[in-house]
């Protein structure tokens, strides 16, 4: 028994000595945690360079857009063909995707060799060989009688401007076919197919093998948003936010980015990690100075890297008693498959001895242990480097999503990952160590990148079909120039009907006189009180205007809530609440005993017979207080003040917020003659010639007219442009049939229109995988502010006005507090107007 223990101790000590010897020799390949974190940070910077327009041209990591906008969502169906070209052999597949997703994806495939003369010959001959093989496959499987969509996996760096186009940037992996670099490989394939003849296919999509791996895994796991290849070559792709991809127009949504991380280090950023062995590998390759990361990581180079190390160690007398065989001197004799055999859990040392003997060597026990450890260091470094780069991608995704913890899936393919007995476990462990805030599931890509090409094609076809259905649904909202001209003409008719005495009562656009006869001229001055009622909040303000100076208005205000029960209670309750708020404000300001002139911004349609007289025509924006419509709201306010009997106010003017907006802007720019509100409600006012306002006495001068254009359409003259969603929103509102134009244009309703569209599209399986959440079913849950956050449309109004009124040069000015400052300015102008009328001439 003692002898057995002694032998065991001797063997362990021998093993330890050999491992230490190799560790000392290959110390530069053994990377610490800090070094891996450093490499990861460097790769993150390289990603950002590749995504930026300014630095992409000189970036080593090209971050190529793939124009793949979605992973599979389970609704894909149909039969597709796939071509997979990326190594010394290529594959043709037929893929059948079942509609119910319960059955597995069915596939038939055939592998075809690529003779050496095609790898290094003319590109046209290479693609004709591929087309001939495709034709053979179709005939053999009797599937050439109907046109099929084809996805093309092309595992080389390509610049894509769309899903079915790819310009080859450079060959790799021993391919050197002439006349391909700089050309569209999809077009070369199409030409070859056409030349071969009798092949009825439609090449819909071209993808990188990495994207294919991600898409294959994405069909079974919809959390998959990263693809990694660790095989003959290496690469990674992931789903990036469109707003970060400078090379592609558009900020909305996401797109898969093909990193082409094999070129990481080509600009020198990894020079301090590249060993003398790596430099020798690079110098002897067909593309010196390029794909340096790939040459440190991938299966095409790992075996050769081990051979070089063993040769140098033997020459130094560290292995094989200094003996070197011809086979060990010969490039390519030690392959990555040998590393896989040597690193097997069981039988690894026996495999090592056999492989070395096949190379003409006579290894000792300690030689086998040392060679096994060399293989471990080389393959472990590969896993470490891949983990560091992958950690950068995962961190970017997590930060893009603004998550503390990311849960995601990485689809992996490649011969090294598939066949090396310990590589996956090492990779997973290092990734989880480097990014503990990313919970990563690794999934082996079944059937590889070719199935993924078919899935990309299926997704492209599904998205095209869905896009058409969505476009058809939204077509009614896209108004043509002709339709807009018709709306313009109809609005003009209604404006004129509203101004005429005989048609005014039946006009849908009421054209209400405001008794505001001019805009500010800069001479206004004084202290004013202003009230602002137009939504769920009510404001009370003190406004101080200094004379002779524009931009010299100071305001003090306080905001009060209008509870729903007050908005929809009685008129008396509403105005008592308003007066209570005024009382609180006057106490707050210490002005209870000061009788200031007051302007009342009342943002609802009123029929005015004077500057301080306004009968409410109808409530809008959710208000339904009783016994108000048809009554003078200024009188109602005065009565409420009397009931409280605490203070007195000089109510000079009732003001519409639209008019206040115009007056505020006119105070800054005397040319301003129009006020526009595009907010909770929608309205416009403008300065009209008095002679055109038939129901108001006097023909001299001008008066501001409050159009109340929100009522446009009440006489059914815009039914041709109202959609069913507009009618649904109208039917569910507090005032069905009224304010139809406002319900198509204003903030109170736009979000609800979108919510109803989203529900409809989801019911048809076009959004959210057909699942309608309970929250989405809630009326009002999709707020109009979301539209502003999602869609940028600030120039649409200006551009359309320019097109429809080409003879009018219009400047748009944003009003600063039209309802408060504007009310005070109107009050000031009104006081001056009536003072001027009373003074003797």
User: Which residues, in sequence order, are CB contacts of 438 under 8 Å at separation 6+?
Assistant: 391, 394, 395, 398, 405, 406, 408, 431, 432
Q: How many other CB atoms sit within 10 Å of the CB of residue 727?
A: 14
User: Which residues, in sequence order, are CB contacts of 824 under 8 Å at separation 6+?
Assistant: 528, 530, 541, 543, 545, 553, 599
Sign for the pseudo-dihedral over CA of 251, 254, 255, 259: positive
Structure tokens at 350: 């026996």
Q: Are strands 526-533 and 438-444 parallel, antiparallel or unpaired?
A: unpaired
Structure tokens at 316: 């130094």
Q: How long, in residues, is the chain?
A: 841
Q: Are 533 and 636 in contact (CB under 8 A)?
A: no
Residue 409 CA to residue 427 CA, distance in Å, equals 14
Q: Is 611 helix (H, G, I), strand (E, B) or coil?
A: coil
Query: What are the phi and psi torsion angles at 703 (to 5°)?
Result: -145, 145
Q: Which of 396, 539, 740, 755 is catalytic?
A: 539
User: Which residues, in sequence order, are CB contacts of 504 under 8 Å at separation 6+?
Assistant: 497, 498, 510, 511, 694, 695
Residue 761 CA to residue 767 CA, distance in Å, equals 6
Catalytic, 539? Answer: yes
Instruction: Return the residue matching tokens 């990555």.
Output: 336
User: Which residues, in sequence order, are CB contacts of 479 under 8 Å at separation 6+?
Assistant: 487, 721
Residue 125 CA to residue 192 CA, distance in Å, equals 9
Q: Are 542 and 591 in contact (CB under 8 A)?
A: yes
Q: How many other CB atoms sit within 10 Å of the CB of residue 667?
A: 27
Q: Are 703 and 674 in contact (CB under 8 A)?
A: no
Q: Is 193 helix (H, G, I), strand (E, B) or coil?
A: helix
Q: Are 624 and 678 in contact (CB under 8 A)?
A: no
Q: Which of 657, 726, 730, 817 is catalytic?
A: 657
**Whole-number CA gyration radius for the chain:** 38
Q: Is 270 helix (H, G, I), strand (E, B) or coil?
A: coil
Residue 233 CA to residue 416 CA, distance in Å, equals 9
Sign for the pseudo-dihedral over CA of 753, 755, 756, 760: positive
Sign for the pseudo-dihedral over CA of 287, 292, 296, 297: negative
Instruction: Return the residue matching tokens 């095609």.
Output: 118
Catalytic, 603? Answer: yes
Burial class (CB in 10 A: 0-12, 13-18, 19+), 222: middle
Q: Are strands 78-85 and 148-154 parallel, antiparallel or unpaired?
A: parallel
**What is the separation of C-alpha 807 from the centre of its chain, rounded to a whole number of angstroms?**
38
Residue 59 CA to residue 266 CA, distance in Å, equals 9
Structure tokens at 738: 């009224």
User: Which residues, in sequence order, are CB contacts of 646 under 8 Å at separation 6+?
Assistant: 583, 592
Residue 652 CA to residue 595 CA, distance in Å, equals 12
DSSP state of 104: P
Q: Which of 70, 285, 603, 746 is catalytic?
A: 603
Q: Is 183 left (phi over 0), alpha (psi -120 to 50) or beta?
A: beta
Structure tokens at 555: 């305001």
**What is the separation of C-alpha 826 from the centre of its chain, rounded to a whole number of angstroms?**
45
Q: Which residue from 810, 706, 741 is spatially nearest to 491, judged by alpha carbons? A: 741
DSSP for 436-469, please give it. Answer: TTEEEEEEE-TTHHHHHHHHHHHHHHHHHHHHHH
Residues taking part in catalysis: 539, 603, 657
């Amino acid at each position: 028994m003692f002898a057995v223990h002694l032998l065991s101790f001797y063997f362990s000590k021998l093993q330890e000595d050999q491992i230490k010897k190799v560790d000392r020799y290959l110390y530069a390949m053994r990377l610490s945690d800090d070094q891996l974190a450093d490499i990861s940070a460097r790769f993150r910077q390289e990603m950002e360079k590749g995504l930026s327009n300014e630095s992409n041209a000189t970036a080593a990591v090209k971050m190529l857009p793939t124009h793949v906008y979605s992973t599979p969502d389970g609704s894909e169906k149909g039969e597709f063909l796939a071509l997979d070209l990326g190594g010394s052999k290529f594959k043709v597949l037929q893929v059948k995707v079942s509609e119910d997703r319960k059955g597995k994806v069915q596939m038939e495939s055939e592998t075809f060799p690529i003779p050496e003369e095609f790898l290094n010959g003319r590109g046209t001959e290479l693609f004709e060989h591929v087309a001939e093989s495709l034709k053979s496959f179709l005939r053999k499987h009797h599937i050439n009688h109907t046109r099929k969509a084809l996805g093309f996996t092309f595992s080389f760096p390509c610049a894509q401007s769309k899903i079915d186009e790819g310009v080859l940037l450079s060959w790799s992996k021993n391919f050197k076919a002439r006349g391909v670099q700089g050309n569209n490989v999809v077009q070369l394939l199409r030409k070859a197919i056409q030349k071969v003849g009798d092949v009825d296919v439609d090449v819909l999509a071209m993808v990188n093998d990495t994207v294919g791996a991600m898409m294959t895994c994405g069909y079974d796991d919809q959390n998959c948003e990263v693809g990694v290849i660790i095989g003959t070559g290496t690469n990674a792709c992931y789903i990036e936010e469109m707003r970060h991809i400078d090379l592609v127009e558009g900020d909305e949504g996401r797109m898969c980015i093909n990193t082409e991380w094999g070129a990481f280090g080509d600009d020198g950023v990894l020079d301090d990690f590249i060993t003398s062995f790596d430099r020798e590998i690079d110098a002897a390759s067909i593309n010196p100075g390029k794909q340096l990361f790939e040459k440190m990581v991938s299966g095409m180079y790992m075996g050769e890297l081990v051979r070089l190390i063993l040769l140098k160690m033997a020459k130094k007398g560290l292995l094989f008693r200094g003996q070197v065989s011809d086979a060990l001197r010969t490039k390519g004799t030690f392959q990555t498959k040998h590393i896989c055999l040597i690193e097997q859990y069981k039988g690894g040392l026996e495999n090592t001895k056999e492989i070395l003997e096949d190379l003409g060597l006579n290894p000792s026990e300690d030689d086998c242990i040392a060679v096994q450890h060399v293989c471990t260091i080389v393959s472990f470094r590969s896993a470490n480097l891949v983990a560091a780069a992958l950690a950068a991608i995962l961190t970017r995704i997590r930060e893009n999503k603004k998550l503390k913890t990311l849960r995601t899936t990485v689809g992996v393919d490649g011969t090294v990952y598939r066949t090396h007995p310990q590589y996956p476990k090492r990779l997973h462990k290092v990734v989880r160590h480097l990014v503990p805030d990313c919970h990563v599931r690794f999934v082996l890509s079944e059937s590889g990148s070719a199935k993924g090409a078919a899935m990309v094609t299926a997704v492209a076809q599904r998205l095209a079909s869905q896009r058409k259905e969505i476009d058809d649904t939204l077509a009614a909202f896209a108004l043509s120039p002709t339709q807009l001209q018709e709306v313009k003409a109809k609005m003009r008719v209604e404006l004129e009907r509203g101004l005429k005495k005989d048609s005014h009562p039946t006009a849908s656009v009421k054209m209400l006189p405001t008794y505001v006869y001019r805009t500010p001229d800069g001479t206004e001055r004084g202290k004013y009180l202003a009230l602002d009622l137009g939504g769920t909040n009510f404001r009370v303000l003190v406004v101080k205007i200094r004379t002779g100076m524009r931009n010299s208005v100071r305001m003090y205000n306080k905001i009060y809530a209008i509870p729903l029960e007050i908005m929809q209670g009685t008129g008396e309750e509403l105005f008592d609440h308003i007066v209570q708020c005024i009382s609180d404000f006057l106490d707050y300001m210490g002005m209870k005993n000061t009788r200031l002139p007051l302007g009342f911004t009342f943002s609802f349609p009123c029929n005015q017979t004077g500057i301080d007289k306004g009968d409410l025509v109808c409530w809008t924006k959710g208000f339904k207080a009783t016994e108000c419509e048809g009554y003078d709201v200024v009188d109602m306010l005065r009565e409420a003040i009397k009931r409280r009997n605490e203070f007195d106010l000089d109510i000079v003017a009732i003001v519409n917020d639209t008019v206040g907006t115009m007056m505020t802007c006119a105070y800054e720019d005397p040319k301003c003659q129009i006020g526009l509100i595009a907010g909770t409600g929608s309205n416009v006012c403008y300065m009209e010639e008095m002679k055109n306002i038939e129901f108001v006495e006097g023909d001299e001068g001008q008066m501001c007219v409050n159009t109340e254009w929100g009522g446009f359409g009440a006489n059914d003259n815009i039914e041709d442009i109202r959609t069913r969603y507009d009618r649904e929103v109208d039917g569910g509102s507090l005032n069905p049939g009224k304010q139809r134009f406002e319900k198509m244009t204003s903030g109170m309703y736009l979000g609800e229109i979108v919510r109803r569209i989203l529900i409809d599209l989801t019911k048809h399986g076009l959004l959210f995988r057909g699942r309608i959440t309970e929250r989405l079913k809630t009326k009002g849950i999709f707020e109009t502010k979301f539209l502003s956050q999602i869609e940028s449309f600030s120039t649409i109004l200006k551009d359309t006005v320019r097109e429809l009124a080409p003879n009018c040069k219009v400047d748009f000015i944003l009003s600063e507090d039209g309802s408060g400052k504007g009310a005070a300015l109107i009050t000031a102008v009104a006081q001056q107007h009536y003072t001027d009328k009373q003074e003797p001439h």
